[in-house]
Amino acid sequence: MTTQLNQLRFDNRLVRELPADPETKNYRRQVTGAVYSRVNPTPVKQPRLVAGASEVAALLDLPASVFSQAEFAQVFGGNQVLDGMEPHACCYGGHQFGNWAGQLGDGRAINLGEVRNQQGEYWTLQLKGAGPTPYSRTADGLAVLRSSVREFLCSEAMFHLGVPTTRALSLITTGEWVRRDMFYDGNPQLEPGAVVCRVAPNFTRFGNFEIFSARGEIDVLKQLADFTIRKDFAHLLDHKSSDITAEIYLRWFNEICLTTAQLMAHWMRVGFVHGVMNTDNMSILGLTIDYGPYGWLEGYDPDWTPNTTDAQGRRYRYGTQPRVALWNLAQLANALYPLINAVEPLQQALERYRIEYEHCAQRDMANKLGLSQFDPVQDQSLTENLLQVLQSAEIDMTIFYRQLAHLSLDDIHQYTDQQWVDIVRSAYYSAPDIKAEAMMANWMRSYAQRLQQDFVLNGNDNIQRRERMNAVNPKYVLRNYLAQQAIDKAAGGDNSEVEKLLQILRKPYAEQPEHEAYFAKRPEWARHKAGCSMLSCSS
């Protein structure tokens, strides 16, 4: 029988062009001299669709009706391999929490193959949670519903926020139970299993290059680098020659530095905290990849991390993300050095990261405040003072910036401190004391003066300012407590909240008055509830 899925056109370039692991049996081992190992997903009892993203299906030339076909759950739950698919898991290493961890690899991710759509775009389909691979180490290669709901929703939420990211095609429960120790306290529980189908041009990480450089397998390093450049960075090639030279490797590394800087600026703009910025969780394409214990800032706190594993050192806290990304890029530079054999140009590329990040951060802050452009002379201090004010009390970052757009410059000259604070009072988790209220009021006065100056110099007005602010300051983000509520319902067989959140998060900058209840601070009951604030890496 011909189905819509049979129309997928597979062109598996990675499998065809890069060295494979000669061992075809699926058991845990060190894999050397190979970019990938062939491995099939593990069949499951009863795959059932929880949700699908029609926009992602469209990337594959599939209609939304494909989700209702029985075969869909069988294929993307791991029970059926379509003609043209060549399932495999990739080898990579990584620095985890600052330390070299050696071989890691796709321990619970299996690439089904590359689809070429009608526009000539290539999309890799990857199942997360589809069973063990040679890289699973001591793990089972499976995923549970709670982590899979979070990955599915956040992948799509980030895309609609305008943040570069891997995508999610589908979320499917398996009918299996998976044992997980969520709190790492020696009390594992059985949880419903699930599989997410992730979609991206590639899932190549910094760690894919690190492992071969660390092992001295420079021939494989070069093969992978050349393949990556020809496939995803062809615009960097010198078309007069088929050779990839040291100069091209440098252009490539420079571009990675720039896209990574841009990604970090996006994360900081929307208040996203990844939680596990190991080098094996950094995309060579500058995409957000691997949604584990992530979170959004609620009370503004640059020292906050959503990861319980990172609670003591806080290496991956919100405020350090740009610096950690630079450190990770330095590790990638070390890995690529054998292809370039020059330190200074690599250092120059890392400096370009700093420059690009600062440029993006300043541009984003100007937009967040509704200014025509960022003036370092006066706006640097305005921004620094604001970040101090946001820490003077527990103030919700998302709500603050959204409410700040309501400020009108009409009749503000007689405002009291209380009236200034009233503009953003709904962002406070508790009433500010006199000192905190005075800090906010003083900053608001300085901000209003800066706006007035901007209006005079650039012809800006309140309407233009609000439009500029509301285009970069989201109203709806995937707060952890919202995700947890969807998870709880889905665990009971009710997928409606997953679908509802997916719909809301498709338009994060729109007012959506019918969903106003989702534009709210974290409830007090969620402050310390499991899954609603910090999370572990367990999934």
CA–CA distances in Å: residue 64 to residues 4, 50, 57, 125, 170: 10, 14, 7, 17, 11
At residue 312, what are phi and psi to the nearest 5 degrees?
A: -85, -55
Task: Examine residue 188 and state whether it is found in any structural domain, yes or no.
Answer: yes
Residues 364-390 have a mean pLDDT of 96
Task: Examine residue 531 and state whether it is found in any structural domain, yes or no.
Answer: no
pTM, to two decimals: 0.96
DSSP SS3 for 453: helix
Q: Is the same domain home to 119 and 80?
A: yes
Q: What is the pLDDT of residues 464-486, one digit of tens each?
A: 999 999 999 999 999 999 999 99
Q: What is the pLDDT of residues 37-78, one digit of tens each?
A: 999 999 999 999 999 999 999 999 999 999 999 999 999 999
> Which structure tokens are listed for 292?
């584990």
Q: Is the same domain home to 357 and 234?
A: yes
Task: Examine residue 475 and state whether it is found in any structural domain, yes or no.
Answer: no
Is the per-residue pLDDT at 414 higher than 90? no
Q: Is the same domain home to 240 and 330?
A: yes
Q: Is the same domain home to 424 and 493?
A: no
Q: Is the same domain home to 227 and 159?
A: no
Q: Is the same domain home to 202 and 254?
A: no
DSSP SS3 for 534: coil
Q: Using 50, 70 and 90 to split pLDDT, how confident is the model at 506? A: very high
How much of the chain exceeds pLDDT 70, in percent?
Answer: 99
What angle in degrees, to the nearest 10, is found between the helix axes of 376-390 and 434-458?
150
Q: Is the same domain home to 455 and 306?
A: no
Q: Is the same domain home to 114 and 140?
A: yes
- Choose the final residue of a domain: 406, 435, 470: 470
Of 92-106, 175-189, 290-304, minimum mean pLDDT range: 175-189
Q: How many angstroms separate the CA atoms of 403 and 480, rounded? A: 21
Q: Is the same domain home to 390 and 499?
A: no
Average pLDDT, the chain: 95
Q: Which domain holds residue 518?
A: 480-526
Q: Is the same domain home to 276 and 382?
A: no
Q: What is the pLDDT of residue 316?
A: 95
C-alpha closest to that of 22 among 41, 36, 3: 36
Q: What is the pLDDT of residues 452-468, one digit of tens each?
A: 999 888 887 889 999 99
Q: Using 50, 70 and 90 to split pLDDT, how confident is the model at 528? A: confident
Q: What is the pLDDT of residue 195?
A: 98
At residue 162, what are phi and psi to the nearest 5 degrees?
A: 90, 20
Given the residues 21, 140, 181, 280, select the one marked as catalytic. Answer: 280
Q: Using 50, 70 and 90 to split pLDDT, how confident is the model at 538? A: low
Q: What is the pLDDT of residue 534?
A: 75
Q: Is the same domain home to 161 and 84?
A: yes
Residues 279-304 have a mean pLDDT of 96
Number of structural domains, the chain? 4
Active site annotation includes 280: yes
Q: What is the pLDDT of residue 238?
A: 82
Q: Using 50, 70 and 90 to split pLDDT, how confident is the model at 1? A: very low
* Helices marked H in 60-124: 70-76
Task: Examine residue 534 and state whether it is found in any structural domain, yes or no.
Answer: no
Task: Examine residue 343 and state whether it is found in any structural domain, yes or no.
Answer: yes
Task: Examine residue 497 and state whether it is found in any structural domain, yes or no.
Answer: yes
Residues 176-192 have a mean pLDDT of 86
What angle in degrees, to the nearest 10, is found between the helix axes of 496-505 and 145-161?
20
Q: How many angstroms separate the CA atoms of 127 and 66, rounded? A: 17
Task: Examine residue 65 and state whether it is found in any structural domain, yes or no.
Answer: yes
Q: Is the same domain home to 202 and 133?
A: yes
Is the per-residue pLDDT at 137 higher than 70? yes
